[in-house]
């Protein structure tokens, strides 16, 4: 509490005089009034010591689902059906502090609601003994809305940061504030990407004609999706984001003195901008299931997929044009390329080939090859061309030598002015290579299956998956060499999407399955795999952007999701009680103990890879600076020291370190789940109830998360401070069927 009053246990430099404050105390008349008002909203400590606040708020998660269907036989050759599904899920993940200061650490928290509806109707027409047509029509709509907990609640005027617009679409709670060295990874305020929403509406028509001809079964089809609409708000800092560092007061990584003095080092503010995105798609396919002879069957086919690039209903999009000093080009009415600002990919022909060879009555050999396209590939908001000036002003500034402004004064009045001088050097410009083809996946597999006895089946399959034209995000305006001049001086951060990344997975799957019989069945599966790529999981990892945007090959390494060894075992067993069983076959024992089924699954895998980084190595906005690697880096593998920090040497800021991507691995993961259920007949076979008890992580195994990979965090580097799974959770359920 003393530090809230400006009393510190270390020297604090007065930036006005260059001298330390007497008694390590900031005078009360120097404390910024907005900072004081914000601190007054924080809860008081709950315990003594450095980590003096403990909170364990309850998470609520409620869901409802309604399903209705109608099947109607119009004639001996005509059948129609219709199905409707409605679902609603409401989830609330409270912040660490609650109230106006919230303290939610991620935009996956707060108050979220997902409302989904879907309608499917179909007509099956038997044209002749060998010709059948299936027509399907579907509509789906979804509304996903996420709000910060204090949405709609304005803080006291004294705690409001000036210059932040009060827009009813986003207002609520205080401005998000990060103070270096405080709050253990969370912040004052709510996540900067809240509120956000996505409202989709999609219609689809699918028609498939099946034709039997000799030992061939042909299928021809068309799949049309139009219109596809997506209205969304997904932009950061609509309520402002501020950061306070220790440099202005010579307090190293402690930003509290700078906060009390109101010395802002980083600031971001964005206007509210709602995108109305549109697509349409057409797909065609031809397939032949050919039974060549009694032993060999072939599956042959080809598919064509086309989807328009993302369009905006009012053409509010812009793209960056490299070359010279760089410039922006804006969408306009006309061709798809005029509206989308990228070239449509019209070459998506996908051949498919599969075979099954019956060696004998117990043995099969099988294999296949196929090409698949990801025709809708969105990287969050990072590659959306609608989120650019002049529609969206995503203004972000940082200065570690001179404060941007004083907290009590708030954001400058022209911070969101689209005509402000030098705006393009301060905002994020999202851009795409106009020649990007769709992501292409080639998959190969070959294996065999052998039946042993009456119910045991053993399978071994080799799989390879090669990806090309994968999305890769870089800062196109990265300083040359990491510390040189920017290629486009009049621009700032240019978040550029290329489709030049690639991936390669090789794996062997071994499974043993005992098919369910005599009240028991089980399965065992083991996978040995290796996946490499040169583009990270952009929305999920700390090192998604490569260190050097001009050398993507140097970023090649294990995929972020690479798991070398994985084992899964499962079983289903009817308990031996009740009618027809071994024990308690009648009477009260059968009524209580009969008809129970126990099932379970146990999963164990090796650890995921991670990249050791150096936060003090600034090689460009959002680029991941690495240290030099001087040893193998393997450490004690404990919570306090997972890897060897002495094997990594810090380099001067703006230097490309020689350490690699995903060179170390984190803890493994294991969990066992059990389920006990019983079906009770209430009225014959038509009405019944199912009682169910589920236990997740039944052994309450602690699954550790990844260690802090940033060697610049001297207090927490190599330590593990988070979990990768939940503790034991139990749930009870009652389901009525009628």
Cα–Cα dist 456/520, whole Å: 12
> DSSP 3-state assignment of 69?
strand
- Choose from 52-61, 105-114, 637-646, 725-734 the range with maximum mean pLDDT: 637-646
Of all residues in the chain, the percent with pLDDT exceeding 90 is: 75
pLDDT band at 287 (very low <50, low <70, confident <90, very high): very high
Cα–Cα dist 462/443, whole Å: 11
Q: How far is CA 227 from CA 141, 278, 347, 388, in A?
A: 12, 7, 22, 24
Query: What is the CB neighbour count within 10 angstroms for residue 294?
Result: 7
Specify the higher pLDDT residue, 379 or 732: 732
Cα–Cα dist 50/183, whole Å: 10
What does the pLDDT average to over 695-724?
Answer: 91
Cα–Cα dist 648/713, whole Å: 13
Termini Cα distance of the chain? 61
Widest pairwise Cα distance in the chain = 97
Over 70: is that where the pLDDT of 52 sits? no
pLDDT at 499: 92
pLDDT at 112: 95
pLDDT at 68: 94
200: closest CA among 121, 277, 111?
277
Using an 8 Å Cβ cutoff, are 352 and 303 in contact? yes
pLDDT at 244: 94
pTM: 0.85
Using an 8 Å Cβ cutoff, are 186 and 99 in contact? no
Q: How many helices (H) and strands (E) does the chain have?
A: 4, 32
Cα–Cα dist 632/69, whole Å: 60
Specify the higher pLDDT residue, 687 or 467: 467
pLDDT band at 602 (very low <50, low <70, confident <90, very high): very high
Strands (E), 560-668: 565-574, 596-605, 609-610, 628-629, 648-649, 664-665
Over 80: is that where the pLDDT of 682 sits? no
Using an 8 Å Cβ cutoff, are 397 and 266 in contact? yes
> DSSP 3-state assignment of 651?
coil
**How confident is the model over 64-106, as pLDDT tens digits?**
999 999 999 999 999 999 999 999 999 998 988 899 999 887 8
507: closest CA among 465, 536, 468?
465
Using an 8 Å Cβ cutoff, are 104 and 191 in contact? yes
pLDDT at 21: 94
Residues 6 or more apart from 159 whose CB is under 8 A from it? 34, 37, 38, 40, 41, 100, 174
Using an 8 Å Cβ cutoff, are 295 and 357 in contact? yes
Cα–Cα dist 717/725, whole Å: 21
Over 90: is that where the pLDDT of 153 sits? yes
Cα–Cα dist 381/387, whole Å: 8
CB-based burial of residue 22 (10 Å sphere; 0-12 exposed, 13-18 middle, 19+ buried)?
A: exposed
Specify the higher pLDDT residue, 700 or 454: 700
Query: What is the CB neighbour count within 10 angstroms for residue 438?
Result: 22
Over 80: is that where the pLDDT of 416 sits? yes
Over 70: is that where the pLDDT of 50 sits? no
Q: Where are the alpha helices (DSSP H) in 270-334?
A: none
Over 90: is that where the pLDDT of 491 sits? yes
pLDDT at 541: 64
**How confident is the model over 19-28, as pLDDT tens digits?**
999 999 999 9
pLDDT at 531: 97
**How confident is the model over 247-277, as pLDDT tens digits?**
898 877 789 999 999 999 999 999 999 999 9
Q: Where are the alpha helices (DSSP H) in 229-300?
A: 256-261
Pairing relationship of beta strands 296-307 and 687-696 according to DSSP bridges: unpaired
């Amino acid at each position: 509490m003393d530090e809230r009053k400006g009393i510190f246990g270390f020297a604090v430099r007065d930036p006005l005089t260059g001298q330390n404050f007497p008694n390590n105390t900031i005078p009360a008349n120097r404390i910024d009034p907005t900072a004081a008002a914000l601190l007054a909203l924080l809860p008081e400590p709950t315990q003594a010591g450095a980590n003096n606040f403990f909170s364990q708020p309850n998470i609520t998660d409620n869901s409802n689902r309604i399903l209705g269907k109608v099947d109607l036989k119009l004639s001996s050759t005509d059948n129609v059906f219709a199905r409707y599904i409605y679902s609603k899920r409401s989830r609330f993940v409270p912040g660490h502090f609650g109230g106006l200061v919230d303290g939610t650490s991620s935009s996956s928290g707060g108050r979220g609601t997902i409302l989904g509806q879907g309608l499917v109707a179909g007509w099956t027409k038997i044209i002749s003994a060998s010709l059948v047509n299936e027509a399907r029509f579907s509509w789906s709509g979804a509304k996903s809305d996420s709000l910060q907990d204090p949405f709609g609640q304005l803080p006291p005027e004294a705690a409001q940061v000036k210059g932040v617009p009060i827009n009813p679409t986003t207002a609520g709670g205080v401005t998000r504030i990060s103070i270096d060295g405080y709050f253990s990874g969370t912040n004052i305020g709510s996540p900067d990407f809240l509120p956000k929403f996505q409202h989709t509406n999609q219609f689809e028509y699918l028609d498939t004609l099946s034709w039997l001809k000799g030992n061939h079964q042909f299928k021809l089809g068309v799949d049309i999706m139009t219109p596809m609409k997506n209205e969304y708000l997904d932009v950061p800092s609509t309520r402002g984001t501020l950061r306070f560092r220790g440099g202005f007061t010579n307090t190293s990584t402690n930003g509290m003195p700078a906060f009390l003095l109101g010395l802002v080092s980083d600031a971001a503010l964005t206007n509210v901008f709602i995108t109305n995105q549109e697509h349409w798609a057409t797909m065609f396919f031809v397939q032949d299931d050919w039974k060549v002879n009694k032993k060999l069957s072939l599956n042959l086919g080809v598919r064509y997929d086309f989807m328009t690039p993302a369009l905006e209903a009012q053409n509010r999009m812009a793209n960056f044009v490299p070359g010279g000093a760089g410039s922006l080009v804006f969408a306009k009415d006309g061709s798809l390329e005029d509206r989308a600002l990228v070239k449509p990919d019209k070459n998506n022909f996908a051949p498919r080939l599969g075979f099954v060879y019956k060696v004998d009555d117990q043995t099969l050999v099988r294999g296949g090859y196929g090409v698949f396209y990801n025709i809708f590939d969105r990287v969050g908001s990072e590659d959306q061309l609608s989120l650019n000036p002049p529609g969206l002003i995503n203004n972000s500034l940082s200065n570690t030598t001179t404060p941007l402004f004083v907290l009590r004064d708030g954001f400058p009045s022209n911070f969101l002015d689209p005509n402000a001088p030098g705006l393009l050097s301060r905002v994020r410009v999202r851009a795409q290579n106009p020649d990007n083809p769709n992501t292409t996946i080639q998959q190969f597999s070959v294996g065999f299956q052998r039946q042993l006895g009456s119910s045991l089946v053993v399978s071994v399959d080799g799989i390879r998956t090669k990806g090309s034209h994968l999305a890769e995000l870089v800062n196109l305006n990265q300083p040359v060499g990491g510390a040189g001049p920017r290629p486009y001086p009049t621009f700032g951060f240019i978040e550029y999407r290329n489709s030049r990344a690639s991936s390669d997975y090789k794996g062997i799957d071994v499974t043993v399955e005992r098919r369910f019989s005599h009240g028991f069945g089980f399965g065992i599966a083991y996978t040995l795999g290796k996946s490499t790529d040169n583009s990270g999981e952009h929305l999920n990892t700390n090192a998604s952007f490569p260190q050097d945007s001009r050398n993507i090959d140097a970023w090649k390494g294990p995929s972020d999701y690479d798991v070398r060894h994985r084992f899964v075992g499962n079983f289903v067993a009817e308990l031996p009680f009740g009618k027809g069983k071994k024990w308690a076959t009648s009477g009260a024992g059968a009524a209580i103990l009969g008809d129970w089924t126990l099932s379970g699954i146990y999963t164990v895998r090796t650890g995921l890879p991670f990249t050791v980084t150096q936060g003090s190595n600034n090689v460009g906005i959002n680029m991941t600076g690495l240290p030099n690697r001087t040893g193998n880096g393997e450490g004690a593998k404990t919570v306090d020291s997972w890897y060897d920090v002495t094997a990594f040497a810090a380099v001067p800021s703006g230097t490309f370190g020689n350490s690699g991507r995903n060179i170390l691995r984190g803890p493994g993961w294991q969990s066992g789940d059990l389920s006990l259920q019983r079906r009770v007949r209430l009225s014959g076979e038509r009405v019944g109830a199912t009682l169910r008890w589920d236990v997740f992580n039944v052994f309450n195994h602690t699954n550790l998360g990844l260690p802090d990979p940033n060697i610049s965090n001297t207090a927490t580097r190599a330590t593990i401070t988070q979990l990768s799974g939940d503790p034991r959770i139990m749930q009870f359920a009652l389901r009525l069927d009628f």
